[in-house]
Structure 1
Amino acid sequence: MENLKDKVAVITGGNSGIGYAAAKQLKEQGATVIITGRRKDAIEKAALELNVTAIVADQSKVDAIENLALKVKADFGKVDILFINAGIAGLGTIAETSEELFDSIMNVNLKGAYFTLSKFIPILKDGASVVFLSSNTASMPGPGSSVYSSSKTALNSVMKSAALELAPRKIRVNSVSPGPTETEVMKKVGLDEATVKTIMDVVVDKIPLKQMGRAEDVAKMVSYLSSDAAVFITGADIIMDGGMVLS
């Protein structure tokens, strides 16, 4: 079923993980999809695999976001779906966290996401859907995650304000907050398969459903929130973590 036929969708951070899965899902639903990322080779490779459009843009830089919005407007006109997915993680206790780590996380996860929405508001169609990728850590912060958790908690607050501000134009703004999700991130930081499995086993033990989340499941939720089936949902944070926040 092509529930999103003739819709124009922009996904930030679309070259891997949840962003990649969302691009694939929205494309299958009939949308015209544009993915962005700051690494030219990676974003173009993903776009070729997915048969979507790639635009290089760094979400941590406001001028890059502004240029992205201008290019999307010039090439595609108005936008129906905006999935603000790009984000980075980082760990460190409050005593150990450097200003550099604090700024790098906040510049992408909060400032970048905030201004992505800001710069795209003029080219969003009335009735459009905006989805932020948040995290269940916004609801259950833990030791060592103060900056990352704070960035996502603040993002959820922005989402709710945006939902109110954009309601007169029937633009819906929501967030999806996954828990531990199977992506390539651990392999990218150089951990071997045995170490990854050990970490996964510990994590899964904390999840009532005893399984990791899948990027594809998050992508389906983004697709749902972007469809007419969710026309009465705005200002909502959808937690997808197998019950982890309850335990």
Structure 2
Amino acid sequence: MAQKFENKVVIVTGGTSGIGLATAKAFADEGASVFVTGRRQAALDAAVKTIGGRVTGVQGDMGKLADIDRLYDAVQQKHGHIDVVFANAGGGEFAALGSITEEHYQSTFDSNVKGVLFTVQKALPLMRDGGSIVLTSSTTSISGTPAFSVYSATKAAIRSFARNWILDLKDRHIRVNAISPGVTDTAGLNELFGGGDQAQGTKDYLAGLIPAGRVGQPEEIAKAVLFLASDDASFVNGVELFVDGGQVQI
């Protein structure tokens, strides 16, 4: 049985843990040659072992343009083209209005907005016409969260990128969609929620607000990303796909 991404070259930024790692592994399992990025070499090496298949790790911070250039230099040397970009790298921390610092603002926007913008723009010379770009947004793009306004604003920007870039890229038939996960059980979320029992208590509380009755798993988000990236979604363009157990629909 043919694999959906056989002979495809896929970029996954922020691929060392959580949703990025699960998605990179899913692409590799479907036959893709996968390039993953991560800031820390040890975590990147561990991710490469976990992903398996035809995977290449490139250390870098996607908020730094020189690191993005190094990623695409590596792709150019091995393949010379890209079929899919999953611009996933990013993160955030809590900071309530009144305590937001310039550093907090700058680091969050550099990672989540500047990084995504230039990850995609610098991929374009290598992107095949008819390719697919998937951006990681968040349910916070349309719903309020206390002390999370800066992060939420970056994810609203990501959603706006998808709407506008489909117009910029229409002549090349490159689709751009945004995936918006809800509460997902990742190490990053546990850290954001304070770790240990505190994190578990927060997740249990949030699970009670989700119609599905539980938080999501990274593998569930990965399946949705692969759908958007695949030919199965050939007429899906510019959407924000919520993978959140129904939370933002109520």
TM-score between both structures, scaled by the size of structure 2: 0.95
Shift of residue 72, structure 1, vs aligned partner: 1.2
Percent sequence identity is 36
Distance 1:142 1:193, change over 3 A: closer
User: Which deviates the most, 65-74 or 144-153?
Assistant: 65-74
Shift of residue 49, structure 1, vs aligned partner: 2.2
Displacement over 4 Å in runs of 4+? 186-192
Query: Is the 8 Å Cα contact of residues 224 and 243 (structure 2) preserved in structure 1?
Result: no
Distance 1:5 1:211, change over 3 A: same
Shift of residue 27, structure 1, vs aligned partner: 0.8
Shift of residue 139, structure 1, vs aligned partner: 0.9
Counterpart CA distance in 1 for 2:222 and 2:144 is 24
For residue 28 of structure 1, what is the aligned residue in structure 2?
29
Distance 1:166 1:21, change over 3 A: same
For residue 38 of structure 1, what is the aligned residue in structure 2?
39
Gaps of 5+ in 2: none
SS at match of 1:168: helix
Counterpart CA distance in 1 for 2:135 and 2:195 is 31
Written as runs of structure 1 = structure 2, the 5 A alignment for 1:1-247 is 2-51=3-52, 52-188=55-191, 191-247=194-250
SS at match of 1:233: coil
Counterpart CA distance in 1 for 2:129 and 2:189 is 39
TM-score between both structures, scaled by the size of structure 1: 0.96
Shift of residue 142, structure 1, vs aligned partner: 2.3
Question: In the alignment, residue 98 of structure 2 is paired with which amino acid?
Answer: A
Counterpart CA distance in 2 for 1:121 and 1:13 is 19
1:174-232 deviation per Cα after TM superposition (whole angstroms, max 9, x unaligned): 01000100111244469453222211111111112211011101101111111111111
SS at match of 2:84: strand
Shift of residue 65, structure 1, vs aligned partner: 1.0
Distance 1:146 1:191, change over 3 A: closer
SS at match of 1:86: coil
Shift of residue 73, structure 1, vs aligned partner: 1.5
Counterpart CA distance in 2 for 1:245 and 1:54 is 35
Query: Is the 8 Å Cα contact of residues 136 and 179 (structure 2) preserved in structure 1?
Result: yes
1:5-52 deviation per Cα after TM superposition (whole angstroms, max 9, x unaligned): 110001001010000000111111111111111111111111022222
Shift of residue 93, structure 1, vs aligned partner: 1.3
Shift of residue 171, structure 1, vs aligned partner: 0.7
Counterpart CA distance in 1 for 2:41 and 2:239 is 33
Question: In the alignment, residue 33 of structure 2 is paired with which amino acid?
Answer: T
Question: In the alignment, residue 226 of structure 1 is paired with which amino acid?
Answer: A
Counterpart CA distance in 1 for 2:167 and 2:90 is 24
Shift of residue 70, structure 1, vs aligned partner: 2.2
Question: In the alignment, residue 88 of structure 1 is paired with which amino acid?
Answer: G
Counterpart CA distance in 2 for 1:163 and 1:122 is 16
SS at match of 2:204: helix
Gaps of 5+ in 1: none
How many residue pairs match? The answer is 247
Shift of residue 67, structure 1, vs aligned partner: 2.2
Counterpart CA distance in 1 for 2:34 and 2:151 is 28
